[in-house]
Amino acid sequence: MDLTKKTLTEIRDKIAAQELTSLEVTKALLAEIEAKNDKLGAYLELFAEHCLAKAEKIDKRIKAGEKCGALAGVPIAIKDNMTTVWGKTTCSSKILENFEAPYNATVVEKLLAEDAVIIGKLNLDEFAMGSSTENAGLGKTANPWDSSRVPGGSSGGSAAAVSAGLCYGALGSDTGGSIRQPASFCGVVGLKPTYGRVSRYGLVAFGSSLDQIGPLARNTQDAALLMNVITGHDPKDSTSLSEELAPKTDFTKDIDKPLEGLKIAVVPEFIEKAGEAVKEAIGKAVEFYRSKGAEIREVKMPHSDYAVATYYIVATAEASANLARFDGVRYGYRSEKPENYMDVYTKSRDEGFGAEVKRRIMLGTYALSSGYYDAYYLKALKVRNLIRQDFKYIFKDCDCLLTPTSPSGAFKFGEKSDDPIQMYLEDIYTISANLAGVPGVSIPCGFDENNMPLGMQIITDTFQEAKMLRIARMFEKEHSYENQIPEDSRE
């Protein structure tokens, strides 16, 4: 039995039924990671000793008939911008290369409370700034389908690990599409929840009003199970929504029950801007839903043309403020030979940050500077509100918005890295959801001319993740991702 090809739910159920032990599953996964990770580069750090000890403890509890958590014994991996008290939290940056956090992120505590086995930390674009994981400061991650192509970003390590069978589920963070876009490139499911539904405590901040932690998994059932674990109010996070606004939900309940009277919105201009293979795949998806009785409504998003510009003002402004704490004084990397006190700051930051991080800090500082705040940052906030209103208008009459996740399939390394604008446009379909705070999920929907996976995105109104997953599941059940993998695709 190839344990690495099983889904999270399958493994969880087999461990619970004592058909498998957590220890043998964890050992099998560690062996697979050891064999593949040098080429794939998904993991920055493995917690082999820690997770084997945890697996043994869980097996003893299950054997003794003790009640165990919803993820008992299942190996899960997390993006390396979420803190753990063991191992390092690097954000794939030289400036945090040796940083050891003093506390666990809330999502880590929630995984541990449900008896998950946290197997390691996954690679990302430095400080989650990028759409290809080419900006990673501590190593390169390749796409499991074709190692000459990028896995997407910034949660490229998370998507690659799930796709390659190197974990049963993973957590990523999404500031402008950083869960959904790599999920699309790697042929897995990636979900960004409603802003505030998942605690950000322990997530190293990039853009505080945009960042949200979410799951990556092999199918919607597994993503729903992870959502059950990580959602909920957290008093440690001031942006965490109360139970009254976002009541605890079982996202797995009724996920297999199709929705009737479904009204799906599409924006024709969005689809026209995509590549031919994406247009064809989205067109087939639209026809599938129509065949199931859904009403397809063409709508407009009049302010979507400004989404990318708005995002890169808001996100960089927040990044410049958040990253000011990495100064070579309090913690993290410090330049070895500063000539004076000011050199401690300037040289430490210059040597510790990569080119993309520096670019975004400078853009954000400029947008917030005296004389430019009103012209750029304040105006961006006004446009952000208009984008939010666009979604409200759509969701008055429609259950969801269906779009491509990305304009194309995964591109080759170096193809867009010399042109930041082209790279930024990779998130053209995903950014708006972050600006509005609404949830979105990417699910596999086909392949491009290079046999690379393509994803489609389903966006719903705030707090409607359960409905969103049911809509996605309708398509997934009749277009099984595992059944579509060409034999010679994976390397």
The set of catalytic residues is 79, 154, 178
CA distance to 135, 175, 206, per residue, from 317 (Å): 19, 13, 10
Both tokens assigned to 317: 């402004």
Both tokens assigned to 99: 């940083």
Residue 147, Cβ density class (10 Å: 0-12 exposed, 13-18 middle, ≥19 buried): middle
453-459 β-sheet, strand order: 43-46, 117-122, 75-79, 170-174, 212-217, 189-192, 440-447, 453-459, 400-404, 263-266, 295-298
Residues 6+ apart with CB under 8 A from 458: 400, 401, 402, 440, 441, 443, 468, 471, 472
Both tokens assigned to 43: 């993991």
Could you identify the residue written with the tokens 């029950």? 257
CA distance to 177, 193, 305, 468, per residue, from 389 (Å): 20, 19, 14, 20
d(CA 351, CA 227): 38
Torsion of Cα atoms, 117 then 123 then 128 then 133, to 10°: -140
Q: Is 51 helix (H, G, I), strand (E, B) or coil?
A: helix
Residues 6+ apart with CB under 8 A from 479: 288, 444, 445
d(CA 140, CA 92): 10
d(CA 459, CA 353): 34
Bridge partners, residue 297, by sequence: 265
Asked if the peptide bond before residue 131 counts as cis, ω within 30 degrees of 0, the response is no
Residues 6+ apart with CB under 8 A from 189: 183, 215, 216, 217, 218, 219, 220, 222, 223, 441, 442, 443, 444, 472, 476
Provide the H-helix boundaries in 398-464: 420-424, 431-436
